[in-house]
């Protein structure tokens, strides 16, 4: 099983209530399984945007950083719950590969927003992506995927 951010598969789960439908991933959706960590964390749709403050997802997992939304509400607990349930799902199905939405405070793999809600991006992972990576799952973003790579990953996953 390959996990993919639900919003990339056209599901209206992002904070704004919309999606990030990705043409290539949607073409192969029959081989992909949707996951939305923020939904698993029982955050509503729509919801205020949130950013990590004080560090990236690894720092949040270590208790050294937090997640706050634009209304200055601490939503760290929701993000941790969502990440843990996404990992539970991955481990239950022996997932080795995930393709997650770039730059998201949950799903970003190499870059996240600054925490100042100023549109700037900084190096680091989102909370769910960090937890998956810490547990040996390879996390790509949609920006790193082309059709050849996706077909190869699907073929490998299906053995």
Query: Applying CB under 6 A, which residues contact ligand SF4?
Result: 5-7, 13-14, 36-38, 101, 104, 106-107
Nearer to ligand SF4, 83 or 153 (CB): 83
Nearest distance from residue 128's CB to ligand SF4, in Å?
Answer: 7
Nearest distance from residue 14's CB to ligand SF4, in Å?
Answer: 4
Angle at 16 between CA 91 and CA 60, to 5 degrees: 45
Nearer to ligand SF4, 71 or 155 (CB): 71
Closest CA to 142 of 110, 104, 99: 99
Nearer to ligand SF4, 12 or 91 (CB): 12
Question: Could you give the CA distance from residue 136 to residue 116 in angstroms, rounded to a whole number?
Answer: 30
Question: Could you give the CA distance from residue 74 to residue 84 in angstroms, rounded to a whole number?
Answer: 18
Nearest distance from residue 159's CB to ligand SF4, in Å?
Answer: 26
Nearer to ligand SF4, 109 or 153 (CB): 109
Residue 113: CB partners within 8 Å, gap ≥ 6?
Answer: 51, 52, 103, 105, 119, 120, 121, 122
């Amino acid at each position: 099983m390959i996990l993919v951010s639900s919003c990339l598969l056209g599901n209206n789960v992002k904070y704004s209530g919309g999606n990030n439908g990705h043409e290539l991933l949607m073409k192969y959706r029959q081989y992909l399984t949707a996951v939305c960590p923020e939904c698993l964390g029982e955050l509503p749709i729509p919801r205020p945007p949130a950013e990590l403050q004080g560090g990236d997802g690894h720092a949040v997992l270590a208790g050294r950083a937090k997640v706050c939304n634009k209304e200055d509400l601490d939503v760290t607990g929701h993000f941790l719950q969502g990440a843990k349930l996404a990992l539970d799902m991955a481990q239950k199905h022996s997932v080795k590969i995930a393709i997650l939405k770039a730059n998201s405070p949950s799903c970003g793999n190499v870059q996240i927003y600054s925490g100042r809600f100023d549109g700037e991006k900084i190096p680091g992972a989102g909370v769910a992506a960090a937890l998956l990576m810490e547990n040996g799952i390879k996390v790509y973003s949609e920006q790193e995927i082309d059709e050849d790579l996706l077909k190869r990953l699907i073929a490998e996953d299906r053995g």
